[in-house]
Amino acid sequence: MSVLRLTDISKRFGAIQALNGISLSIEPGEVIGLMGDNGAGKSTLVKIIAGNFRPTHGKMSVADREVEFHRPIEARENGVEIVYQDLALCDNLTAAANVFLGREKYRWIGPIRILDHAAMYKHAGGLFRELKSETRPRDLVKQMSGGQRQAVAIARTMLSEAKLVLMDEPTAAISVRQVAEVLTLIRHLRERGVAVVLISHRMPDVFAVADRIVVLRRGTKVADKAVSKSSPEEVTGLITGAIEVA
């Protein structure tokens, strides 16, 4: 059973055909490297999967059930989580508060409802341990490294038992050591059976962690193959158009 299946998805923004007849299926625990030049349609595709955009045409199913997402919350309810490039974290809050943002835990003292910080620290601490991350629940996000921020954003996706995590350029703006941490986080998600779509311009990251590579060129899928059957040279050719399809 596929986690996600896209059939003939197209998206038009006015005169721009951003995506053209994309079909794709993703299995549990599979890591897909989604590559393509600027403007190729990568972010548009993951935003459709995450319920930010409606496709102009095409069908989408989650766990073999056809779905239509009108809002991101509907994707989330179906186990689809997205980590945006800017991460959208609150700098002045702790790691735990960011993990639970909008999904806070409460407890009651008589008739009064208060935030249950202890429970959130404990739960967030467990998620970071599961991700083998050094991130501490009580640390403020503004004092964190890029890699630790990624761990917070990824822990957020684990709260809801995500089946598919979409990551838009998670390693674009962080140091070499932090990139290694993020790749490790992705491997831990895979071990838990979570499927990951990783958008990246960084060929070494994709070849280090992905099982399959999908290449988009000007809105069209030009390759969908096992990493072991491709090479960085071939992918570069597919991205630029030097190689037509593979």
**Minimal distance in Å, beta carbon 28 to ligand ATP?**
25
Contact 222, 246 (CB under 8 A): yes
Terminal CA-to-CA distance of the chain, rounded, Å? Answer: 26
Picked from ligand ATP, Mg ion, none, the partner binding residue 16 (CB below 5 to 8 A depending on kind) is: ligand ATP
Work out whether 38 is an interface residue with ligand ATP (CB under 6 A).
yes
Work out whether 98 is an interface residue with Mg ion (CB under 5 A).
no
CA–CA separation, 190 vs 101, rounded Å? 24
Neighbours of 244 (CB within 10 A): 10
Residue 190 Cα to chain centre, angstroms: 12
Work out whether 43 is an interface residue with Mg ion (CB under 5 A).
yes
**Minimal distance in Å, beta carbon 125 to ligand ATP?**
34
Which residue, among 200, 201, 198, 220, has the nearest Cα to 211 in the 3D structure? 198
Work out whether 200 is an interface residue with Mg ion (CB under 5 A).
no
**Applying CB under 6 A, which of residues 5, 22, 35, 43 lies at the interface with ligand ATP?**
43
Picked from Mg ion, ligand ATP, none, the partner binding residue 106 (CB below 5 to 8 A depending on kind) is: none
Q: Is 69 left (phi over 0), alpha (psi -120 to 50) or beta?
A: beta
**Minimal distance in Å, beta carbon 80 to ligand ATP?**
17
Q: Which residues bind Mg ion (CB under 5 A)?
A: 43
Q: Binding residues for ligand ATP, per CB under 6 A? A: 13, 16, 18, 36, 38-44
